[in-house]
Structure 1
């Protein structure tokens, strides 16, 4: 990595996210993207992450002395993938003596997917609460978790700003999640804050089919938006996170939301062994 002396103010942020099949790295500065690399291939994240970090920093003319911190997606998502970015971010933050901010990968996915959808469809800003009888649009990010499950959450669109969280990140059975969303919609309607559009963003092919979302039909407009995470959104969230206070470098951990399959199998085997004693 470049380590040239630079006595100017530290304004830049290095952002990393490897929680999905996309390896996202970006260098941002006060809401601007200086350079971004989004590479596919989940199985190779551990091999390519550091070279891509170096490439992004060189391409943006950035060295460690110019960084005010590191933002890292902590998941939920791929168990192994999430660990790779978090471990790298902690190591670099310690080596470069800069703060680190852990951000929700689902929050970044929601923001990025919504922004991409508006650009693609030439939409205007989301409806503000109280306008035309609607509240803000809802954004539901989706990352496949297999067996009919998804890593997901619920956010309210906030114009060009980061979406506002309405439900925590979790792994959810999609059938139950859709039923829960239908209930929330009825409550929102009674409060006069029903969204105009439901944006399902991310891995929509697996979890946003007509059959899956049937309980929501007849309500707000439904817009599935296939979208792959881009590193910049972790950076934008990280900038806000560092203003609110950085995370402890040593205490930062991924948000797994569930045991890995290997750990679950090991725990079942261990419990079986104890029951036979």
Structure 2
């Protein structure tokens, strides 16, 4: 199965082509969130170099969040369009699970996170089980104190040998992290980036979804939604309802 995967969740753009479990090529670019300009040319470059066309791809995969609101919409919209037009399979993968997949060590609690500013993080914790990162602390939008409480509660009931923080912003929280009950370490430079090749590997074992039902998973309300709620007084609902109303 040929899988074309992309991540536009952060300022690092990543596109990869996988053949089943094998990574054929991955291209990463720090483009300061200009994904709308760079994504299509990179996809074309990868396909051309491998003598493929979009119709030759069996499954499309994308990081659905958390991450940059604009970035996520670009990535999700792109794969929805490809899958709908070509009648191909599409899979959404958690950005945090993709981060956690960079650690293959057993018995290691991997806390994957993206700095959300003001001591807040988009974060979740994972354990490697049979080569797959399994979510054990739900992906969410956490203040650092709430996140560390959740980690300590997990450590009280489970005894992983190692604790690893992967992603962005954790190196600014050393004073708080030092209160944890288990010694910790930080991911390497490569581990702290989101790799489309890992998204492709995760997507191989996920159930495809209807392209029309694939939505970004922001993990918190956008400012537009907040403003809409204040203006209309209507309760928050699924993203699709909000999009239809505006």
TM-score, normalisation: structure 1: 0.78
Cα separation, 1, equivalents of 2:230 and 2:179 = 35
**1:77: Cα distance to partner?**
1.1
Match of 1:214 in 2: 178
Which segments of 5 or more consecutive residues in structure 2 lack a partner in the other structure? 234-246
> Do residues 229 (structure 1) and 200 (structure 2) align?
no
Over the aligned positions, Cα root-mean-square deviation in angstroms equals 1.7
Distance of 2:49 and 2:112 partners within structure 1: 30
Q: Equivalents in 1 of 2:90, 2:62: separation in Å? A: 8
Q: Which protein shows a greater Rg?
A: 1
Q: TM-score, normalized by length of structure 2? A: 0.87
Deviation at 1:30, TM superposition (A): 1.2
Name 1:197's counterpart in structure 2.
162
Alpha-carbon distance in 2 for matches of 1:85, 1:264:
23
> Could you tell me whether the CA contact under 8 Å between 2:10 and 2:33 is conserved in 1?
no
Name segments (4+ residues, structure 1) moved above 6 Å. none
Unaligned stretches of 5+ in structure 1? Answer: 1-10, 116-124, 127-135, 189-193, 272-277
Shift, 1:206, TM fit:
5.3
Determine if contact 2:137/2:150 at 8 Å carries over to the other structure. no
8 Å CA contact retained: 2:115, 2:170: no
State the shift of 1:268 in Å: 3.6
1:66 Cα shift? 2.5
Q: Distance in 1 between matches of 2:193 and 2:123?
A: 14
Matches of residues 18-57 of structure 1 in structure 2 within 5 Å? 18-57=8-47
